[in-house]
Structure 1
Amino acid sequence: MIFDILSKKFQRHNTGQKIVKIAKKLCSALAALALMTPLFPEIPDDADFWSDYPNAELADFLVSKMDDGELLSQILMFGWAGEEPSDLLNRWISERGLGSVKVFGWNTDDTDKVAESISEVQERSQKRKLKIPLFVATDQEGGWIRHVKGDTTETPGNMAIGASALPMDSYYSAYYISREINALGINMNFAPTVDLYTNINSSVIGSRSFGENPDFVGKLGSEFVRGSLDAGVIPTAKHFPGHGDTSLDSHGKLPEISADYETLKKRELIPFKYLIDKKIPAIMSGHLSFPNIIGNGEPASLSHKFLTEILRGDLKYDGLIITDDMMMNGATMYAGSVSAAFTAAIRAGNDIILSSTTAELNENLWTRNIALMKSDGEFRGSVKDAARRVLRAKLEYFKSPNAAPLHPDLKTVHERVPDKDGQKFFLSQACRSITAYKTGNFPYKRKEGERVLLAGQTQFDSFFTEARKRYGQDCSQFKFDYELGPIQTDWMGNQIEKLALGYDTIIFCVANERSSEIAMRLKKLHGKKVIILSILTPVPVLGFDWADTILCGYSWSKYSFKALFGALNGEFTPSGILPLPQ
């Protein structure tokens, strides 16, 4: 532009071609000087993550200061298997600047140790030059998906929220769950699950779903997001584009879902659209194949079409995209290897690549992708863009007033976990969720001399405790394991069929298909009152028309058992709806 102005001026005064050439050289020199000028002249070279500059400019600055290894490390998330982070994970953080870690549920019974470990890994991140903190994630959905155990609250879960049909129950469930993990230093939660309960035989989704109605799920999911953010935790909607229409679990193999794109738009994508409109900061991509949308069988988590064209393009999403665990067979079987799956995930448009195990420092997933960054400019650009998006999200979160602490206060952990206000709420929420699916002699009051047998899973102490509070300590007990093989199931069925002959009323807890098979043996008995208390998904008891009473509670939480027996005993009138296709 300067050259054009000077050229016209000189030509107008007939100063000749020589002056024009001089002007051209001057402009070239100025352009070269501009290229040598730092891109961020206002940000000093020694600035770091915590320096006080606008987030967008600071994110660009941080990216400019990172080498290829740091850029790639920033978009990786690794978990640890022991009670505390391994030396290997610590090296990834200290030596390479790992961007995120995941707290899995294998060794989280010691709440203090979880908080202490998080503080230690964050301290390592702050010893690096750029001082970029870690995203620390977990799966604390509520209900039976509760990776951080110890003193945290076991809640009624999503299907119970769907049964109460109250948005406030979704908001406060997320709020109190998030307050607890925030106290431990966890800043990201892989929840809410907004998969529709389209296939009621789904073993992996089940009671993790709010229900089967897309708008209903979208509204409840939106409130869950709001509650999480208000409590200072980043919510992550999952599993895009929807895991509900399959009975297969992508941990074991790649599920194929036959829905076409028009069906998805009218069904599975609607909840995600609700959340995108509410500015959901993160979405998890699922290891799910849609052969009628992409004929080559690639999972959505590795698909440029699903993540870049549909999620980013059609749905206008601009937040973080995080893969489901790349150690799941649903991803690696298609890609052929873990390293190839990581490459495909980056090319597809994921910003954070999650692995439940910590990779060795020189595994193929590292060496392959570092080499690609050097040889493939487009691939390096994808890594760089993802790192920039992660850094921008971190700046926005960690510099907000209610971010989870990098170093949780170990002295106050037990004052905040479990959350005392949350405990009161979850009991009331459980009561609102109880659904009376079938009512015979209801409510049930034990008559004098009536012989009562309690049948349920060994693991659920609350079932037996709450029953005996109301129906007497002399109630007999029949216990069996939650996980049973077919032979054990048949044997237990034979045992209860004989045992029940000596009782007038049997109160039976059905939690899954195996316990349902055992309970079905009571159908043969005549003159016995059978009361079924269903927890988790109610699908296994929907055909129990022979039972006297069926109540649905959707969870093995102690609050759900209190609510179930409170309703059965007539302490309140159950008002929950069945959140299943009618």
Structure 2
Amino acid sequence: MLKRRLLLAVLLAAAGCNFLWSQNERNSVNFWTQMPNDQLARQITDEMTDAELLSQTFMFGWAGAEPPELLYQWVERGLGSVKVFGWNTDDIYLVAKSVSSLQHEAAEGRFQIPLFVATDQEGGWIRHVKGDTSITPGNMAIGAGGYPVDSWKSAYYISREIKTLGINMNFAPTVDLFTDHDSSIIGTRSFGDDPDKTGILGAAFVSGSEAAGVLSTAKHFPGHGDTSLDSHGKLPVINIDFNTFKSRELTPYLYLIKEKVPAVMSGHLSFPLIETSGAPASLSHYFLTDLLRNQLGYEGLIITDDMMMVGATVYAGTMSNAFKMALEAGNDIILSSTTAKLNEALWYKNLELMTLDKNFRERVKDAACRVIKAKLDYFKSGNAAPLYPDPNTIDSHIPDREGEKFFLEQACRSVTVEKQGSLPLTADKAGRVLLMGSLTSFFKAGKQRWPDAGEFHYTYETGPNETQWVLDNLPSVAPGYDTVIISVSSENHVKIAEYFKGSGKKVVILCNMTPTLTEKLQWADSILLGYSWRCDYSLKAMLGAVNGEYVPTGTKPYN
């Protein structure tokens, strides 16, 4: 502890800063003082240094499996939050150990303020915490089933798993609408294209998360659905007028605000016909303060999407200016996927600005107060994630045993028949079956139903060279089969399936990713939609439907 403090002091001195609280400074309260939460949050922020206030508004991720020394130094400085990304999580036991260690460091701080520990565990395609956590059907499958209880339970079981690891905040639900079907970043992460239905399902997700004891975060405000661009690489520009925006993008948030969603993530998205400056919503005072706070009455936390994304920095010019603009716009937590160096400009320039600009300091103090009040409400609720998770308990909670049964049932409710054809194809009707796909679970479930089926394997993320290899080898494999069941999840899989066009065989397409992939496959005998990325539950559900074990009732959640 002393070594870190001395190093931190040296680095700050080198940067021309002298903002560390001294050992002689005394505070009259700490995070665990017994008094009303709003009063305690104000008392703590009144006693904080500028450095402590600014630090509470930052959320940093880190590269690698374990947090580096640099992140611990930030926590000692007073960092408010950390983010667990997908590159940290192959070993979930190490995740729990890292979270515990970081929380112990935070407990050594002057005010003993715990960390918000966040991740992206949306269900379906986006699953940052890996290991044995559940790969679930996801939002579009929930939308296809149409039951709010499925959204509630999905959130509940997902949250119970990550809570075991000490993760207390989830960047979900995604309530972006499936407006642009060419989107490479939203796709099946969306509940569908109906604003009201999305709002209802999103609100149910929030409620399920709360019941499990994890804070939810609706994203990406005000809406990422009407663009095919990914804001990681470019600032998307969405040219819609305010009337369209109000009746479409804003509608889900009206439901979520009524449900008191604890956090909203601001998106790096430009709506120039509404905010004429062209500023991304994440840096726009109009979108976050005038609209979200003042007009819509939202009272929870506002968190930026990753500030390392080009969609933010290209407009602001520099990272330090992007952080400044984000705070001024009304964000309370500024997220960076990488841990900044202690003396970077995004730190010392904004810290200096707090001494020069009274309004900026008050905005930072207001943001810090909101963060601390939210932490007090959460950590003193009696239903919070453990500050110091025990790795020895993980195996009894992950995967969630109750969740496993539910997710298969939910996948069955979501399966949609796009083209009935000859279904069902029981073993006596199918003839000789060839199974083509990627996942071991697909072949295992297929062989249970058609024991004599042949198998042709290719990787899930099939590249152009492998695609050509498959096409070159199919002529020596395909003859002699009457029915071909193909798992399709990408454009290259579509090319593989098209080999059988006009072959005279019964071709059954199981589309387990973006459902628009089937537009080129309408020649097939039968098409089922499962909407889910690498999801064993959805594949089993579709194969069960092909075999006539139940009648699928899912409907496309978009027009």
SS in 2 for 1:237: strand
Distance across 2 between alignment mates of 1:428 and 1:408: 30
Compute the TM-score of the two structures, normalised by the length of structure 2: 0.93
Match in the other structure for 1:478: 456
Q: Aligned ranges for residues 411-450 of structure 1 at < 5 Å?
A: 411-447=392-428, 450=431
Deviation per CA, 1:355-410: give whole Å up to 9, x if none. Answer: 01000111111111111111111111111110011011111111101011101133
1:569 correspondence with 2:547: yes
Aligned partner of residue 391 in structure 2, secondary structure: coil
Question: What residue identity is the alignment partner of 1:166?
Answer: Y
The answer to whether structure 1 residue 300 and structure 2 residue 281 are counterparts is yes
The answer for the alignment partner of 2:13 in structure 1 is none
Opposite residue 462 of structure 1, the aligned amino acid is S
What TM-score, normalized to structure 1?
0.89
The equivalent of 1:350 in structure 2 is 331
- Counterparts of 1:26-45 in structure 2, within 5 Å, are 45=27
| Aligned counterpart for 2:119 among listed residues 130, 138, 141 | 138
Match for 1:154 among 135, 146, 151? 135
Q: Which residue number in structure 2 is paired with residue 122 of structure 1?
A: 103
Does the aligned pair in 1 maintain the 2:494–2:521 contact within 8 Å? no
Q: Could you list the per-position Cα deviations for residues 293-333 of structure 1 after superposition, in whole angstroms to 9, with x for gaps in the alignment? A: 12332111111111111111221111100000111111111
In the TM superposition, 1:127-526 aligns within 5 A as: 127-447=108-428, 450-457=431-438, 460-472=439-451, 474-486=452-464, 488-496=466-474, 499-523=477-501, 525-526=502-503
User: 1: CA distance between counterparts of 2:459 and 2:279?
Assistant: 38
- Given that 2:430 and 2:483 are in contact with CA atoms closer than 8 Å, whether structure 1 keeps it comes out as no
**Which residue in the other structure is 1:76 paired with?**
58
- SS at 1:288 equivalent: coil
Quick one: distance in 2 between partners of 1:131 and 1:231? 25
- Looking at structure 2, the residues matched to 85 and 454 of structure 1 have their Cα atoms a distance apart, in angstroms, of 43
Compute the displacement of 1:496 (Å). 3.3
Deviation at 1:486, TM superposition (A): 4.1
Q: Aligned partners of 1:340 and 1:448: how far apart in 2? A: 66
Structure 2 contact 123–137 (Cα < 8 Å) conserved: yes
- Report the aligned-residue RMSD: 1.5
1:93 corresponds, among 70, 75, 98, to 75
Q: Which amino acid is 2:419 matched to?
A: K
Paired residues of 1:252 and 1:329 also in contact (CA < 8 A): yes
Q: Which moved more, 1:331-340 or 1:243-252?
A: 331-340
Structure number with larger C-alpha Rg: 1
Does residue 39 of structure 2 align to residue 60 of structure 1?
Answer: no
What secondary structure, in the 3-state scheme, does the structure 2 residue paired with 1:250 have?
coil
The match for 1:15 is none
Measured in 2, the distance between the counterparts of 1:269 and 1:291 equals 16
Indicate the SS of the match to 2:237. Answer: coil
Task: Write the letter of the residue equivalent to 1:48.
Answer: N
Provide the secondary structure at the position in 2 that maps to 1:153. Answer: coil
Is the alpha carbon distance of 1:145 and 1:576 closer, same or farther for their aligned partners in structure 2, counting shifts above 3 Å?
same
Find the residue that maps to 1:436 and give its secondary structure: strand
Partner SS, residue 427 of structure 2: coil
Range 249-258 or range 408-417, more displaced: 408-417
Cα drift, residue 546 of structure 1: 0.9
For 1:565, give the aligned amino acid: L
Q: Who is 2:528 aligned against?
A: 551
Percent identity for Structure 1 against Structure 2: 59
Q: Is the 8 A contact 1:434 1:575 kept in 2?
A: yes
Q: Mind listing any 5+ residue stretches in structure 1 that lack a counterpart?
A: 1-43
Mapped to 2, the partners of 1:199 and 1:494 lie a distance apart of: 35
Post-superposition shift, 1:448?
Answer: 8.5
Opposite residue 47 of structure 2, the aligned amino acid is K
Alpha-carbon distance in structure 1 between the residues aligned to 2:300 and 2:399: 31
Q: Report the AA paired with residue 188 of structure 1.
A: M
Whole-Å separation in 2 of the counterparts to 1:397 and 1:352: 16
Q: Name the SS of the counterpart of 1:290 in structure 2.
A: coil
CA distance in 1 between partners of 2:242 and 2:94 (Å): 46
How far does residue 59 in structure 1 lie from its aligned partner after superposition?
0.5
- Taking the TM superposition and a 5 Å limit, the aligned residue runs for 1:104-123 are 104-123=85-104
Alpha-carbon distance in structure 2 between the residues aligned to 1:573 and 1:158: 21
Check conservation: 1:497, 1:521, Cα contact below 8 A.
Answer: no
* Cα distance in 2 between the residues matched to 1:481 and 1:417: 27
Distance in structure 2 (CA, Å) of the matches to 1:298 and 1:569: 53
CA-to-aligned-CA distance 1:490-509 (integer Å, 9 cap, x gap): 45344436643442221111
CA contact (8 A) 1:101 1:135 kept: yes
Residue 50 (str. 1) matches residue 32 (str. 2)? yes
More displaced 10-residue stretch of structure 1: 539-548 or 572-581: 539-548
Range that drifts further, 331-340 or 96-105: 331-340
Q: CA 1:578–1:497 in structure 2 vs 1: closer, same or farther (change >3 Å)?
A: farther
- Rounded Cα–Cα distance in structure 2 between residues aligned with 1:388 and 1:117: 26
Indicate how the Cα distance of structure 1 residues 526 and 514 shifts in structure 2: closer, same or farther if over 3 A, else same.
closer
Query: Which structure 2 residue ranges, 5 or more long, are not aligned?
Result: 1-25
Taking structure 1 as reference, are residues 45 and 486 closer, same or farther at Cα in structure 2, changes over 3 Å only? closer
Cα pair distance change 1:501/1:241, threshold 3 Å = same
Give SS of 1:221's match. Answer: helix
- The amino acid of 1:237's aligned partner reads A
| Runs of 4+, deviation exceeding 6 Å | none
Moved more, 439-448 or 321-330: 439-448
Kept in 2, the 8 Å contact 1:497–1:522? The answer is no
Residue 464 (structure 1) shift: 1.4
